[in-house]
Amino acid sequence: MREPTIFELSSTGRTGVTFQEPDVPLSDFPQEFARADFPFPEIAELGVVRHFTKLSQKNYAIDLGFYPLGSCTMKYNPKINEATARYPGFAATHPLQPEDTVQGNLYLMYTLQNWLAEIGGFADATLAPAAGAQGELVGTMIIAKYHKDHGDLKRTRILIPDSAHGTNPASSAMLGFDPVQLPSDERGNVDLNALAELCDDTLAGIMFTNPNTLGLFDENTAEVIRIVHEAGGLVYGDGANMNALLGVFKPGECGIDVMHYNLHKTFSTPHGGGGPGSGPVMVCQKLVDYLPDPHVIMTDPGDEENPPTYGFARPEKSIGRIKTFHGHFGMLVRAYTYIAMLGQEGLRDIAEKAVLNANYLQAKLKGTYTLPYDRSCMHEFVLEGYWKDVPDIHALDIAKRLMDYNFHPPTNYFPLIVHEALMIEPTETENVETLDRFVDAMLKIAEEARTQPELLKSAPHNTPVKRADELKAAKDLIFCCYPVREWEKS
Amino acid sequence: MFTPHTKADVEAMLKTIGVEKVEDLFKVVPDKNRFPDLNLPLPLSEMQAATELDSIASANATTRDFISFLGAGAYQHYIPAAVDNLLQRGEFYTAYTPYQPEISQGTLQAIFEFQSLVSLLTGMDVSNASHYDGATAAAEAVILAYSQFRGKRPKVLLSRAINPQYREVIRGYMQANDAISIVGDDPETGIEPDLQKLIDQIDLDTCLVMVQYPDFFGRIIDYAPLIEAAHAQGALVAVVANPTALALLTPPGEIGADIVVGEGQPLGIPLSYGGPYLGFFAVKNALLRKISGRLVGETVDTQGELAYVLTLTAREQHIRREKASSNICSNQGLMTLAATIYMTLLGKTGFQQVANLCYQNAHYAANVVQEVPGFKLPFKSTPFFHEFVVQANQNVPELLAHLQDHGILGGYDLNQDYPELEGCLLMAVTEMISREDIDYLTDVLSEVKHA
Amino acid sequence: MLVPEELKYQKTDEWVKVENGIATIGITDFAQDSLSDVVFVEFAIDPDDEVSAGDSLATIESVKAAAEVVFPVSGKILEVNQVLTDTPELLNSEPYTGGWLAKVQVSDESELDKLMDAAAYDAYCQDR
């Protein structure tokens, strides 16, 4: 049943949470600046609580079931993270407090910078970026500034594999680079011949996702890095898929120059219905001076009597500030908590189980669904959601039908290089019973595609709403549900 | 702990896959780099982690330990209990971006309501689903305006009374664009409230004029003349607004702003040492197609039932790739939910009460502080909301240290950004500051004078 | 799929018709069909702009896709079809008539020789 909007629920005169009257002598409000009307909703507290509780019940979530959404790493978000991030000692600190009053925050940030650098094999890290896409922006800014500082002004091209996330070309373009698409070879690796041909003294760098969006570890990793470095380019690592490599491979050790993590993927901070993310960026030694402002350093190593102290410093050749204050601190507390509980062995266990789960699903599904790149996968794999004998059935239909079996669908239509892609990432936190139930549903759907195709075409059947008319949304352009405002009537 | 696999599970799974051991799945990783050592502390149990984090948190002194007059872009407000209680529902915070509308109507409707409230608050036609924070929203406004004129108007005018961090972020975002000229916030143009020197710089090359409302110094300024002058030259106007103040102030949309952005933290989001917050971003209909970031629209499903979907996605990076005007992918989903719940819960009455408490407390504070010998209000003749500048007859860092010794975070030292404001302090007063707190402040300030 | 005989085509699915040195440019039936319902047209040029072949003319958005339209010929912009701003669906219903995008005073007619004729374009589309 449809839940009314907050404006429909509103009745003149009701109040939710109210406040005391001022106890200071009153000052007049300048009437020339006073707004004429303020038609905000008027709903009592219980009405508000029920409204949002009912809305929550219209969502699917990790806490409700299996969420194999490829490239998003929908792993369990530990409850302890939510508790620690809310400790008043963290949550009630103002970002502009004097450094001597926030030594706990600064210690946590300093330590996390070091941990994240260590896990990826880098020299240092910044915690400032608000999300993976902003991390990419920081990474490309660093690449741009590095070349500029070296007087290398003709380096204007950035190579981007055809399997990459859309943020890669968009980030490069924002920095004025010319993104050049790099083809993949028949095994899903970067095509080395094409790479060599595109490398010259106009190359700024490459944005290299490894494992790539097909879930494959690039078999030519070392070669790709060598070729780009020999041409004078830098290698940006898109670390979106680091969940497969924790404790397994340090990209920095292998020559990646700069890379971001998505804390909301790899390090278990919640996705929150589309954010907030957090996208720390790690760099190799030659790029540490370019990190954004602010950066946390140890200001005094301390001694037997006194603990070390920490503070902010602007790196010497910094690309500058990319958001207010110091990054998504609340997310940093969660990631710190997670890493502290896992340590080296726990992190490697994450990667191993994520890869085990993905290979298990791949092995069970590949006979029934086409697996375009048939080799051992990392944390995810991509199937074709299309069969030649039932050409009317598309990946989208399979995705929607999965909802009837109470599963979140895999990512579909990405990566672009696979026809009717279904990108499946089970993550390490799912048990084998869940994986088996998912396999059963996928096999059943493949059968239904032949026997009762209309079941797929009309799916989903049990969800709060059915398939939505996206064309109507794009034509009607209704973005608000407020009443007409007084000043607009005149 | 977080991985549920038993030994038997692993063995059975490996058999299905057809390999002997888990390590065999990683043979593709170069030999010499495979399974490196990680120099990390030994793992902690949940109980140990809780204790460690508690002890780190306890090494901070917070706005609860001090009486805090710090604002300058982040504000201490009371957050009703229901906000976090609802936010902690797993159905909300463990969901992904609502790309599958059939099973994401909760998130979608909440964002739709957020867009509606922001449109109403700012007086604009369309709000998006949010940006990272106020500063990045301001940077996106610059990108929008620049691309609206396809680069043919290369000049952006920023008021010097915009939060210095916002101006820094705007320049950071535009650092690779040599064609754009971001000016107007120099000491020569200054910070006079009449803005005449800024208005004089508006010309046919100007794509955007940006001002803050109330400005960084808390001042409420009539921007109608500036907006009129900008529109006369065909330029767009963006206003950086404080959402709490907008509960009482004429919305920028009503006086002609083309874009309104701002920091949503005051709307029920904890200070949390600077993030995560949210940036709101609203425009007039004429610019709707140029909005970057997510938008939720209303439609119907195959049964004719009302439904919400992400719409106009062809603007975004996952479709336009290098042709997209922004690379933004996420929005501040959970933070927009917090703001939506906060605004709904306070509603018409509570929200205006909070704004009025801020206004009244701040004015009481300003009045009593200026009565302390040695302190004055340099912008006394201009109306202000809940932040004001105090000029002290002495070294500000020393004054702040003295206040800190007496349990007070005195405010923000303006001299670090404004050489012309030597000895000046920016103080914020919200509903969280009581009359007693303010009286105590003046007591301590009076002692300073005698010291 | 309609491929009118009298037009010239380029690989990125634009058609061009030249009469008295004036080129009218649009997108092909194949292009509108693969985009599906067009909801928005954003022009990248104004009248009087000088453009070169390969420059961006417009971006066309459908519900799930966006496509860039590029100039097949160089010259000076005489007119853009503003009607499409309010009725972008003309690109779907009348790609070769009401859905034209721009008119250009052609500066170098020899550029037309590099374009495909209807038969070549039709064959090219069959292969995709």
CB contact under 8 A, A323 and B320: no
Q: Which residue of A has its CA nearest to B386?
A: A29
The answer for residues whose C-beta is within 8 angstroms of residue B411's C-beta and 6 or more apart is B69, B70, B71, B72, B390, B400, B425, B426, B427, B428
Distance CA C94, CA C97 (A): 5
Distance from CA of A470 to the nearest CA of C (A): 7
What confidence tens digit (pLDDT) does each residue in C25-50 have? Answer: 999 999 999 888 999 999 999 999 99
**CB within 8 Å of chain B, chain A residues 405-434:** 408-409, 414, 428-432
User: Which among A97, A106, A187 is the top mutation candidate for probing chain B, defined by the most B β-carbons within 10 Å of its own β-carbon?
Assistant: A97
CB contact under 8 A, B364 and A102: no
Question: With contacts defined as CB-CB under 8 Å, which chain B residues touch C68?
Answer: 323
At A323, the amino acid letter reads K
pLDDT below 70 — which residues of chain B? 449-451
Which helix H or strand E contains B47, and what residues bound it? Answer: helix B46-58
CB contact under 8 A, A475 and C64: no
The whole-number mean pLDDT for each consecutive block of 10 residues of chain A, a chain of 490 residues, reads 93 96 96 95 98 98 97 97 98 98 98 98 98 94 95 94 87 88 92 95 94 94 96 95 97 96 97 96 98 96 95 96 96 98 98 98 97 95 96 96 97 86 97 98 98 97 95 91 59
Question: With contacts defined as CB-CB under 8 Å, which chain A residues touch B89?
Answer: 52-53, 56
> Which among B273, B337, B435 has the least Cβ separation from residue A90?
B273
Closest Cα to residue B230, out of B157, B167, B286? B157
What is the per-residue burial (b if ≥16 Cβ within 10 Å, else e) of B347-362?
A: bbbbbbbbbbbbbbbb
Q: What is the pLDDT of residue B451?
A: 46
**Do residues A164 and A207 make contact, with C-beta atoms less than 8 angstroms apart?**
yes
Query: Which domains are delineated in chain B?
Result: 67-78+346-450 (3.90.1150.10), 101-341 (3.40.640.10)
Distance from CA of A465 to the nearest CA of C (A): 20
CB contact under 8 A, C39 and A470: no
What confidence tens digit (pLDDT) does each residue in C102-119 have? Answer: 999 999 989 999 999 999
Distance CA B207, CA B155 (A): 6
Query: Which domains are delineated in chain C?
Result: 8-108 (2.40.50.100)
Q: What is the pLDDT of residue C56?
A: 93
CB contact under 8 A, B314 and C65: yes
β B206-213/B155-158 pair status:
parallel
**Do residues A480 and B284 make contact, with C-beta atoms less than 8 angstroms apart?**
no
**Do residues C57 and C70 make contact, with C-beta atoms less than 8 angstroms apart?**
yes
Question: With contacts defined as CB-CB under 8 Å, which chain C residues touch B314?
Answer: 39-40, 61-66
Pairs of residues, one from chain A and one from chain C, whose beta carbons lie less than 8 Å apart? 10
- In Å, what is the CA distance from B33 to each residue of A247, A252, A254, A255, B27? 10, 10, 7, 11, 11
DSSP state of C116: B
Distance CA A100, CA A95 (A): 13
Closest Cα to residue A425, out of A416, A436, A417, A435? A435
Question: Which ranges in B247-296 belong to alpha helices (H)?
Answer: none
Please tell me which chains touch A, using 3 or more CB pairs under 8 Å as the contact test.
Answer: B, C
Distance CA A207, CA C75 (A): 37
**CB within 8 Å of chain B, chain A residues 35-94:** 35-36, 38-43, 45, 48-49, 51-53, 55-64, 67, 69, 72, 74-78, 80, 82-94
Predicted complex ipTM: 0.97
Distance from CA of B296 to the nearest CA of C (A): 13
**CB within 8 Å of chain C, chain A residues 444-473:** 470-471
Closest Cα to residue A58, out of A110, A2, A96? A2
The answer for residues whose C-beta is within 8 angstroms of residue A371's C-beta and 6 or more apart is A362, A365, A381, A382, A383, A384
Closest Cα to residue B266, out of B354, B136, B186? B354
Q: What is the pLDDT of residue A413?
A: 83
Residue C14 forms beta bridges with which residues?
C27
**Do residues A276 and B332 make contact, with C-beta atoms less than 8 angstroms apart?**
yes
Distance CA A173, CA A322 (A): 17
Q: What is the pLDDT of residue B448?
A: 73
Q: A166 and chain B: CB distance < 8 Å anywhere?
A: yes
Q: A392 and chain B: CB distance < 8 Å anywhere?
A: no
CB contact under 8 A, B96 and A278: no
Dihedral sign of CA atoms A368, A374, A378, A383 in order: negative
Distance CA B417, CA B399 (A): 18
CB contact under 8 A, B175 and A431: no
Q: C66 and chain B: CB distance < 8 Å anywhere?
A: yes
Q: C62 and chain B: CB distance < 8 Å anywhere?
A: yes
Question: With contacts defined as CB-CB under 8 Å, which chain A residues touch B134?
Answer: 324
β B375-376/B259-263 pair status:
unpaired
Q: Which residue of B has its CA nearest to C66?
A: B314
Strand order in the sheet with C14-19: C8-9, C14-19, C22-27, C102-106, C75-80, C50-51
Distance CA B69, CA B427 (A): 5
Which helix H or strand E contains A260, and what residues bound it? Answer: strand A258-260
Residue with tokens 């949470």: A17
Question: With contacts defined as CB-CB under 8 Å, which chain B residues touch A86?
Answer: 84, 270
The answer for residues whose C-beta is within 8 angstroms of residue A484's C-beta and 6 or more apart is none
The answer for residues whose C-beta is within 8 angstroms of residue C24's C-beta and 6 or more apart is C16, C17, C18, C100, C102, C103
The answer for residues whose C-beta is within 8 angstroms of residue A459's C-beta and 6 or more apart is A397, A400, A401, A403, A404
DSSP state of B302: T
Q: What's the token pair of residue A118?
A: 């260590």
Residue B384 forms beta bridges with which residues?
B219
- In Å, what is the CA distance from B122 to each residue of A459, B118, B311? 40, 6, 22
Q: Which residue of A has its CA nearest to C38?
A: A471
User: Which among A7, A33, A217 is the top mutation candidate for probing chain B, defined by the most B β-carbons within 10 Å of its own β-carbon?
Assistant: A33
**Do residues B298 and C44 make contact, with C-beta atoms less than 8 angstroms apart?**
no
Q: What is the pLDDT of residue A484?
A: 56
pTM of the prediction? 0.95
The answer for residues whose C-beta is within 8 angstroms of residue A225's C-beta and 6 or more apart is A208, A235, A254, A255, A256
- Is the domain covering A80-341 a CATH 3.40.640.10 domain? yes
**Do residues A284 and A258 make contact, with C-beta atoms less than 8 angstroms apart?**
yes
Q: Which long-range contacts does A217-225 make (Cβ < 8 Å, 24+ apart)?
A: A217/A244, A217/A378, A217/B28, A217/B29, A218/A189, A218/A190, A219/A187, A219/A189, A219/B28, A220/A189, A220/A190, A220/A192, A221/A254, A221/B30, A222/A254, A222/A255, A222/B30, A223/A192, A224/A190, A224/A192, A224/A195, A225/A254, A225/A255, A225/A256
Q: Which residue of C has its CA nearest to A476?
A: C39
Distance CA C7, CA C15 (A): 6
Residue with tokens 């009298």: C6
The answer for residues whose C-beta is within 8 angstroms of residue A360's C-beta and 6 or more apart is A426, A432, A435, B13, B16, B17
The answer for residues whose C-beta is within 8 angstroms of residue B108's C-beta and 6 or more apart is B98, B101, B296, B307, B308, B309, B310
Please tell me which chains touch B, using 3 or more CB pairs under 8 Å as the contact test.
Answer: A, C
- Percent of chain C that is helix, strand, coil (3-state, to 5): 25, 35, 40
**Do residues A362 and A157 make contact, with C-beta atoms less than 8 angstroms apart?**
no
Question: With contacts defined as CB-CB under 8 Å, which chain A residues touch B82?
Answer: 17, 45, 48-49
Question: With contacts defined as CB-CB under 8 Å, which chain C residues touch B313?
Answer: 63-64
CA atoms within 13 A on the CB side of B214: 27
- In Å, what is the CA distance from B23 to each residue of B10, B14, B27, C81? 12, 11, 7, 62
Closest Cα to residue B106, out of B118, B90, B84? B90
CB contact under 8 A, B315 and C61: yes
Question: With contacts defined as CB-CB under 8 Å, which chain B residues touch C66?
Answer: 314-315, 319-320, 323
> Which among B35, B90, B101 has the least Cβ separation from residue A465?
B101
Distance CA C102, CA B1 (A): 63
Q: What is the pLDDT of residue B180?
A: 95
Question: Which ranges in A207-263 belong to alpha helices (H)?
Answer: 221-230
Q: What is the pLDDT of residue A332?
A: 98
Q: C128 and chain A: CB distance < 8 Å anywhere?
A: no
Distance from CA of B132 to the nearest CA of A (A): 6
User: Which among C35, C43, C63, C86 is the top mutation candidate for probing chain B, defined by the most B β-carbons within 10 Å of its own β-carbon?
Assistant: C63
β C22-27/C14-19 pair status:
antiparallel
- In Å, what is the CA distance from A378 to each residue of A242, A346, A375, A424, C116? 10, 18, 10, 11, 45
CB contact under 8 A, A470 and C63: yes
**CB within 8 Å of chain C, chain B residues 256-295:** 289
β B236-241/B181-183 pair status:
unpaired
Distance CA A484, CA A162 (A): 47
Q: What's the token pair of residue A375?
A: 């080799």
